[in-house]
Amino acid sequence: MHGFALNDIFKIGIGPSSSHTMGPMHAAQHFMSNLEQTLGNGSLKVSVTLHGSLAATGDGHGTPGAVTAGLVGHHYETVTLPDIESIWDTATATGVMRSLSGHEIHFNPSHDLLRDMEPLASHPNGMTFRAWAGDALIDEKQYFSVGGGMVEDQMGHALATSPLPVGDAPFPYKSMEELVRWCDQEKLSIAQLQARNEHFCLKREEYDPIAAKLWAVMSDCIDRGLSTEGQLPGGLNVKRRASTLWNRLLNNSHGDKAPANAAQRAMVYAMAVNEENAAGGRLVTAPTNGAAGIVPAVLRAHLDEHKLNEAGVNRHVSTFLRTATAIGGLFKMNASISGAEVGCQGEVGAAASMAAAGLTAAMGGSPRQIENAAEIAVEHCLGLTCDPIGGLVQVPCIERNGMGAVKAIAASDLALAGDGQFMISLDQVIDTVRETGKDMDSRYKETARGGLAIHGLKIPVTAVEC
């Protein structure tokens, strides 16, 4: 594995969960699309077994509807909540669905969607898909939802939005040290090198369509979160606060376009995104749904502060997101971005590190200053546990994204004030995330069996849906 692409780390999808909603939908869609290509016009009967954490999540957490929509051929990037509800109603009422490519699929969630509370050996989030033509079992495959919407098959190969194949990237790297060495040798910024690894030559003035598309979805999500009030679903009775907080900032600044300071704005932007996530809204994984608020919040706060023309905005967005991609890829390669594996240090910690790096790059920092910012941000998230109340990605997750955004801005400020010399490297801190995650008791890794999850218990715990 020699680096990740922009679309691997940042994926347009839906809430509330990258591992429990987006990943299972992608796995189901992949299983069926492979079968349909070889099937001709015949009909199929399908069963799906959810293992471990996915089984424990239950009907209320989105996995069954996501899998059913995936079997029909929907993808998380384009599916809507009404799509999922309509397919679910048809499947449960008739047991027969018509796929987007016209095949008849026999699947009734009430008896063809099975739950096995025991996790498979490879990962806590496993799935087994089986298909029959008549009485003959014609296919059986296992998939694993490994975090951030990424899915691996039983051979450990990533699906579709996959890491670049070994040898494919012109400047392969597996560590920050290798990445900085390439930048020095080729006289490229981290963002430019990241783009070239995707065979995309990013010149200073060039429009970056992939980054621009991601930013449009991120930005919409912030705006929706800032303008929506009410209560979040799930039974905790959590009230949305981003809208009220934003209006408070606006009033304090007498209606200025960019009220208060960047950290205050970023905190509210991050909470707006994570309230949208909790409500099942459209968003971009960054690198997961649970930690999706930090990167867009810091980027929006940065753009607020700089009066850029359209080309300038595009350039800063591209530089920010492509730099953040490189850092997120290092976490994925050398530790984890899954709360089930290493706790929240791999989600909010990784996101804060990515945002600090992106901001430092957009501010013109050197590769070593970017590394320093990324290292500071995650260093102060080490040991961060995952213990949300009720297993819902609401408390403490929404505020935690706000705090992560503030931390990212502070880390970038510290790094930009320095000379790129520092004691602990980013590679060392990422290794520490991995080792700390290994030592962390399972009660603090997306099981909702310890910490805040039990002290603040208000509704029955199932499993975390980050």
**Which residues are at the interface with ligand SF4 (CB under 6 A)?**
290-291, 339, 344, 347-348, 386, 388, 393, 397, 400, 446, 464, 466
As measured in angstroms, the least distance from the Cβ of 84 to ligand SF4 is: 22
Q: To the nearest whole angstrom, how small is the minimum distance from the Cβ of residue 159 to ligand SF4?
A: 22
Report whether 405 contacts 267 (CB < 8 A): yes
The residue whose Cβ lies closest to ligand SF4 is 290
CB of residue 151 to ligand SF4, shortest distance in Å: 18
Q: How far is the CB of 445 from ligand SF4 (least distance, A)?
A: 8
Find the shortest distance in angstroms from Cβ 115 to ligand SF4: 21
Closest residue by Cα to residue 195 from 226, 165, 224, 164? 164
Cβ closest to ligand SF4, residue 343 vs residue 365: 343
Rounded-to-integer distance, Cα 389 and Cα 22, Å:
22
3-state secondary structure 382-399: CCCCECCHHHCCCCCHHH
CA distance linking residue 280 with residue 225, whole number of Å: 12
CB-wise, 245 or 348, nearer to ligand SF4? 348
CB-nearer residue toward ligand SF4: 296 or 339: 339
Q: In this complex, which beta carbon is closest to ligand SF4, that of residue 392 or of residue 415?
A: 392
Of 114 and 382, which CB lies nearer to ligand SF4 in the complex structure? Answer: 382
Cis peptide upstream of residue 163 (ω within 30 degrees of 0):
no
Report whether the peptide linkage leading into residue 16 is cis, meaning its omega lies within 30 degrees of zero.
Answer: yes
The three-state secondary structure class of 254 is coil
Smallest gap from residue 442 Cβ to ligand SF4 (A): 13
> Which residue lies nearer to ligand SF4 by CB, 197 or 285?
285
* Token output for 274: 């994570």
Q: How far is CA 383 from the centre of its chain?
A: 20
Report the nearest approach of ligand SF4 to the CB of residue 400 (Å).
Answer: 6
From CA 425, how far away is CA 427, in angstroms rounded?
Answer: 5
Closer by beta carbon to ligand SF4, 351 or else 429: 351
From CA 350, how far away is CA 356, in angstroms rounded? 10
Per-position DSSP letters for 409-462, written without gaps between them: HHHHHHHHHS-S--SS-HHHHHHHHHHHHHHS-GGGBSS-SSTHHHHT--S---
Q: Minimum distance between the CB of residue 54 and ligand SF4, rounded to whole angstroms?
A: 15
Nearer to ligand SF4, 15 or 73 (CB): 15
Q: Round to whole Å and give the CA distance between 424 and 382.
A: 13
